[in-house]
């Protein structure tokens, strides 16, 4: 037995006194928000809020580039606003209270927020489980760009607003660039070359996140679809244990109501798997037995263990599972996790494993994009503390039960899921407010793809929410249309197109020509960033340049053909390769047939011999479509349909 040495009462009093003195000293320290740190970039030409914490009543003086402002801290906080300043630097920012903080190498230039999910998060340098960004080596080698800086917000989930973040500015260099967002890097580099001023890129994204996670509670309260989630959050905050129990109960009830596998007890040691497909683990199931599938599926693996494993404790390592899983070993639940990139390590209690036949059953919920046990570089295996292990890679069995379109809404583990309403807003946007910036670039939508109709209103609501929160008016909000990929429905691209057409001061970078049908994370990130930069130059800075590919505006039908009209035709429409591709046409029967399309002046004429009275036309309409309608600026047209729903 181990004996614990307890501290004496005197030592406790001394420690308490020291702690009190330290707390008093720390309370007196004036501390700026993390965004105000060495190598920061501040926005030119706008009032500059500067804020932080200090003791109540503490006088705080801020000095920067010949400007001075002062205030008195209240409720532990302080804030001043400096007048607009011209681009330049480096400058020194000094903040004085009872202590003095000196922040060096501060530039004034253009600041952009870079947010979204995994395609924005995807870094410039190689990352485990992802194919590398195209041409990353020369980009990194030439990344000696001291006028460009990155501020990367750490992943943070929270049910309540978090006002601080643990991050710092980094100067772009060949050493730091590989860890930056690839899209943000190429956007910033192109913008710096065009504008000739310092560029600050505030990167705040999280792979697999849903749009509602990035929105404020006030905004979501106006969206009836999230009322139940928000009420559950209130209950959780009042009583975390009760809220967690209720959330777990709701999820269990949801699976029993929605999933035939749960109802049938597939976690048990049954043998009825003859109609299950074979799949390879680790691997996204789209590439191994379940193409184009989002929803619930079960995976099973039978394996033999020698006698010396029987009854002993072990750990089950499954790597990453996209998106959520519940896992059983020999019918006993050993763990559950939400999050597509979290590594699963589940303890198996003594007595569960046995000599001979054993069975692992994994229920997987994939809400969109890739799915299944994809590993993230970790092969599935059993491990004991004495070093013995059993490799579980290779052939598993899989069977799907229900598609995602019939499963919404999905209950969420509030403190774990990157789809929890407001959780990423609280943890990763609130700490940035109200940092002066020019605009936003955004790459998200994959996780909301199975709710594309909802996204038509949800995405504009997010844009309006952020504009209200920053208080800078209708700042430019530039976003990326989801790239072609086998498994991505076309309606999400339509929702993005409609958002761009209906929401002022927005632009959309089309990726029809730079996607990868086999990978939801296409490696071509340079064209994406550069197209966003074109939009920034036009919308934010008023440059008279073309920044968009052709955008469908209207159609007329007569004489057996459709005539389509577009905006953003630049100096004319073109079809690289010669013949226009990607158009289909339908009559009153709604049956779409391959169409002949040709450019006639500023329009496109479409017809098909077996459609005498056409009623509707679609272009590049599919999961991984192709099409070659461009303008002379070299920018592709967005997929569209004339029969918008």
How many whole angstroms separate alpha carbon 238 and alpha carbon 248? 16
pLDDT higher than threshold 70 for residue 279: yes
What residues have CB less than 8 Å from 453, skipping those under 6 apart?
Answer: 491, 495, 645
Which has the closest alpha carbon to 534: 524, 542, 546? 546
Q: How confident is the prediction for the chain on average, in pLDDT?
A: 92
How many whole angstroms separate alpha carbon 17 and alpha carbon 515? 62
**How confident is residue 40, by pLDDT bands cut at 50, 70 and 90?**
very high
Rg of the chain, C-alpha, whole Å: 28
What is the per-residue pLDDT for 16?
39
For the segment 82-99, the average pLDDT, to the nearest whole number, is 97
Long-range contacts: 249-258, Cβ < 8 Å, 24+?
Answer: 250/411, 251/411, 251/412, 251/413, 254/410, 254/411, 255/296, 255/326, 255/363, 258/296, 258/402, 258/406, 258/407
**How confident is residue 490, by pLDDT bands cut at 50, 70 and 90?**
very high
How many whole angstroms separate alpha carbon 273 and alpha carbon 276? 5
**How confident is residue 28, by pLDDT bands cut at 50, 70 and 90?**
low
Catalogue all structural domains in the chain, each as residue range(s) with its CATH number.
21-216+422-548 (3.40.50.1110), 260-406 (2.60.120.260), 551-641 (no CATH)
Torsion, Cα 94 95 101 106, to 10 degrees, reads -40
What is the per-residue pLDDT for 289?
86
Long-range contacts: 129-137, Cβ < 8 Å, 24+?
Answer: 129/320, 129/374, 129/375, 129/376, 129/377, 130/521, 131/519, 131/521, 131/523, 132/523, 133/182, 133/523, 133/525, 133/526, 134/523, 134/524, 134/525, 134/526, 135/526, 136/178, 136/182
DSSP string across 89-114? EEEEEEEESSSEEEEEEEEEEEEEEE
Long-range contacts: 218-227, Cβ < 8 Å, 24+?
Answer: 218/465, 219/461, 219/462, 219/464, 219/465, 219/468, 220/421, 220/422, 222/461, 223/457, 223/458, 223/461, 225/409, 225/454, 226/421
pTM score of the predicted model: 0.85
Which has the closest alpha carbon to 618: 548, 560, 558, 564? 564
pLDDT higher than threshold 60 for residue 93: yes
Q: Give the tens place of pLDDT for each residue, 218-256.
A: 999 999 999 988 988 998 899 988 888 888 888 899 999
Beta-bridge mates of residue 343: 320
């Amino acid at each position: 037995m181990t004996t614990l040495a307890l501290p004496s009462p005197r030592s406790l009093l001394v420690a308490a006194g020291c702690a009190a003195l330290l707390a008093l000293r720390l309370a007196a320290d004036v501390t700026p928000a993390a965004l105000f740190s060495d190598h920061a970039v501040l926005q030119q030409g706008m009032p500059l809020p500067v804020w932080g914490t200090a003791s109540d009543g503490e006088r705080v003086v801020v000095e920067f580039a010949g400007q001075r402002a002062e205030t008195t801290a209240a409720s532990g906080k302080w804030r001043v606003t400096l007048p607009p300043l011209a681009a330049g630097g480096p400058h020194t920012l000094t903040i004085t209270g009872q202590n003095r903080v000196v922040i060096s190498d501060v530039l004034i230039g253009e600041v952009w927020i870079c947010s979204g999910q995994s395609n924005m998060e995807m870094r410039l340098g190689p990352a485990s489980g992802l194919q590398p960004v195209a041409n990353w080596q020369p980009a990194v080698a030439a990344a000696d760009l001291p006028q460009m800086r990155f501020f990367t917000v750490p992943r943070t989930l929270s049910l309540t607003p978090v006002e601080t973040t643990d991050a710092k500015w980094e100067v772009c260099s060949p050493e730091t660039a590989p860890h930056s967002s690839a899209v943000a890097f190429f956007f910033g580099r192109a913008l710096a070359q065009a504008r000739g001023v310092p560029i600050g890129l505030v990167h705040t994204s999280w792979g697999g996140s849903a749009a509602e996670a990035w929105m404020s509670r006030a905004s979501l309260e106006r969206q009836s679809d999230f009322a139940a989630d928000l009420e559950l959050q209130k209950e959780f905050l009042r009583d975390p244990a009760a809220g967690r129990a209720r959330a777990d109960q709701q999820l269990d009830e949801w699976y029993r109501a929605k999933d035939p596998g749960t109802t049938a007890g597939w976690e048990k040691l049954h043998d009825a798997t003859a109609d299950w497909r074979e799949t390879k683990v680790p691997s996204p199931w789209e590439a191994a037995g379940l193409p184009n599938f989002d929803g619930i599926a079960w995976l099973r693996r039978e394996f033999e263990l020698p006698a010396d494993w029987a009854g002993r404790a072990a750990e089950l390592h499954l790597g990453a599972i996209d998106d959520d899983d519940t896992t059983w070993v020999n019918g006993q639940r050993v763990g559950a996790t939400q999050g597509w990139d979290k590594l699963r390590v589940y303890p198996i209690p003594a007595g569960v494993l046995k000599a001979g036949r054993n069975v692992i059953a994994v229920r997987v919920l994939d809400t969109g994009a890739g799915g299944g046990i994809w590993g993230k570089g970790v092969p599935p295996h059993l491990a004991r503390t004495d070093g013995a292990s059993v490799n579980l890679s290779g052939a598993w069995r899989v069977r799907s039960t229900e598609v995602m379109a019939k499963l919404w809404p999905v209950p969420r583990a509030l403190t774990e899921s990157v789809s929890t309403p407001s959780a990423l807003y609280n943890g990763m946007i609130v700490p940035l407010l109200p940092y002066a910036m020019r605009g936003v670039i955004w790459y998200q939508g994959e996780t909301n793809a199975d709710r594309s109709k909802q996204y038509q209103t949800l995405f504009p609501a997010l844009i309006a929410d952020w504009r209200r929160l920053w208080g800078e008016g209708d700042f430019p909000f530039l976003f990326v249309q989801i790239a072609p990929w086998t498994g991505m429905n076309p309606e999400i691209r339509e929702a993005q197109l409609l958002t761009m057409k209906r929401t002022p001061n927005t632009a959309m970078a089309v990726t029809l020509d730079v996607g990868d049908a086999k990978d939801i994370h296409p490696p071509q990130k340079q064209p994406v960033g550069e197209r966003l930069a074109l939009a920034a130059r036009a919308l934010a800075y008023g440059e008279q340049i073309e920044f968009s590919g052709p955008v469908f505006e209207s159609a007329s039908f007569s004489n057996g053909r459709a005539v389509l009209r577009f905006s953003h035709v630049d100096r004319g429409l073109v079809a690289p390769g010669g013949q226009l591709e990607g158009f289909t046409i339908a009559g009153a029967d709604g049956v779409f047939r391959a169409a002949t399309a040709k450019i006639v002046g500023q329009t496109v004429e479409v017809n098909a011999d077996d459609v005498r009275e056409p009623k509707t036309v679609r272009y590049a309409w599919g999961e991984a479509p192709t099409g070659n309608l461009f303008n002379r600026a070299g920018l592709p047209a967005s997929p569209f349909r004339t029969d918008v729903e």
